[in-house]
Every structure is written in C-alpha cells, then in structure tokens.
Chains A and B, each alone.
Chain A
Amino acid sequence: GDSVTQTEGLVTLTKGLPVMLNCTYQTTYSPFLFWYVQHLNEAPKLLLKSSTDNKRTEHQGFYATLHKSSSSFHLQKSSVQLSDSALYFCAFPLYNQGKLIFGQGTKLSIKP
C-alpha cells in the first residue's frame, strides 16, 4: 500500500554540521512530495515540495532532490543552526483522495 518511511526518529547534531534526513515512499503513481517542518508548539509549515524527477529544490538553506527511480526525497542542509531544531515530516497525497500520507517524523535536535 501507499506509505512514507522516515528511518530516523531522532537526529542530534552539533551546530554547523551537515544533515540528511531520509525519506522514501511507496505508491503506484507520481505524486508531489513534501517536507513539512514543525517547531515546538507551532503548526506544521511547508518547507519544500517537488514533483520533478532529479531536480534539486531549495528553501531556507534546506534542499532535496526527488529521485523517482529510488522513490526517495531526502532532506539536506550543509550547515545546521540552532533554529533548525524541529520535527520534520515527509509526505505525499494519496491519488485522487485529497488525503496526505505522512511519515512518522524525524526530530532534529541541534546542540551548540
């Protein structure tokens, strides 16, 4: 069935280091893929989205490339900041149902 897998539940890094949060998906069609970020006590907000194969999408220093061949949409940043501490969700919409399938989320914790 349709699903999103985020393999890391918690990632703890020191400020200034690079990060990659994994996202793989399973579906029979070619959806938009999304990354949402949720800071503590706030609503989830869209960080990135893409439906174009092999094209890098960037926003606020984060970037991701949709690879349809491997069904992946990993989120990366070259140098994390304290303000990047948040919960990150990967998601895609179910075909023709208006329902978003979310991964379980990855908590990113940045230390000084």
Chain B
Amino acid sequence: DMKVTQMPRYLIKRMGENVLLECGQDMSHETMYWYRQDPGLGLQLIYISYDVDSNSEGDIPKGYRVSRKKREHFSLILDSAKTNQTSVYFCASSSDTTGQLYFGEGSKLTVL
C-alpha cells in the first residue's frame, strides 16, 4: 500500500514552544520533502532529504530543521515556533525514476 502518513494532523501551539511534525512512508523512497502551503497559495519547499542524514535546504528553510534517521521517517522541527509559521505542512516522498511526488494528508499547525 503506497502511503505517506503524517502526524499529527492538527496541532495548536503557543509562540515559543517547540513543534515536531512526523512523516512516514512505506514505499522505500530515498527522497523525501517538507513543504508548507498558506491559504490559497502554492507549495513552498522547506527541506529535501535524499536519504538518511542527507538533507538539503529548500527555498524557505529559516526557522526549521529536519531529521532523517531512518529511510522511512522524516521529521520537521520548529524550535521556538512563531506565529508566522502557522500553515499547513505537507510531507512527500519521491519515486526518483520520474520525479513524481506522493503527498501526505497534511499537518495543520496553528501558532498562537
């Protein structure tokens, strides 16, 4: 079953708190991604991971860090969350033969 799973789906935090968003995939894909999407807008790439401990900044990495210790898991960490990090975060994994992305269902983060 080809699936990308994100947890939690909904999260409310106060400004300054730490946030951990987790993502898992069962397709053994090497490449994984974290995107954010603000209402009515496109997808902005935060980080890309090419494999375990092989991570690269995307277009908007400031304020975020990632961890990938197992191929099937990719975490996004916000140290001291800010109100402008309120958004929907999507994890994705890639079939590198074509570049097609498989997306998780999204994690809606609200920072108060």
A residues adjacent to B (C-beta < 8 A) = 31-32, 34, 36, 42-46, 49, 51, 89, 92-93, 98-100, 102-105, 107
Q: Does A44 contact B94, Cβ atoms closer than 8 Å? A: no
- Taking a contact as CB atoms under 8 Å apart, the answer to whether A43 and B106 are in contact is yes
What are 14 A-B contacts defined by CB distance under 8 Å?
Answer: A34-B99, A34-B100, A42-B106, A43-B106, A44-B90, A45-B103, A92-B99, A93-B98, A98-B31, A98-B94, A99-B48, A103-B42, A104-B42, A107-B40
Q: Which residues of A contact B105 (CB under 8 A)?
A: 42-43
Residues of A within 8 A of B40 (CB): 107
Q: Distance in Å from the Cβ of A5 to the closest Cβ of chain B? A: 12
Chain B residues at the A interface, C-beta cutoff of 8 Å = 31, 40-43, 45, 48, 50, 58, 90, 94, 96, 98-106
How far, in whole Å, are A46 and B94 apart by their CA atoms in the complex?
A: 12
| Known A51-B98, A93-B99, A105-B41; 19 more pairs at CB < 8 Å | A31-B99, A32-B98, A42-B105, A43-B105, A43-B106, A44-B101, A45-B103, A46-B101, A46-B102, A49-B98, A49-B100, A98-B48, A98-B94, A98-B96, A99-B48, A99-B58, A102-B42, A103-B42, A104-B42
Decide: B103 and A43 in contact? CB cutoff 8 A: yes
B101: nearest residue on chain A (CB-CB)? A100
Q: Contact at A100–B104, with CB atoms within 8 Å? A: no
Report B-chain residues with C-beta under 8 Å of the C-beta of A43. 90, 103-106
A32-B99 contact, Cβ under 8 Å, with A42-B105, A102-B43: yes
B104 to chain A minimum Cβ distance, whole angstroms, is 6
Q: A43-B105, A98-B50 in contact; A89/B99 too (CB < 8 A)?
A: no
Q: Are A32 and B48 in contact (CB under 8 A)?
A: no
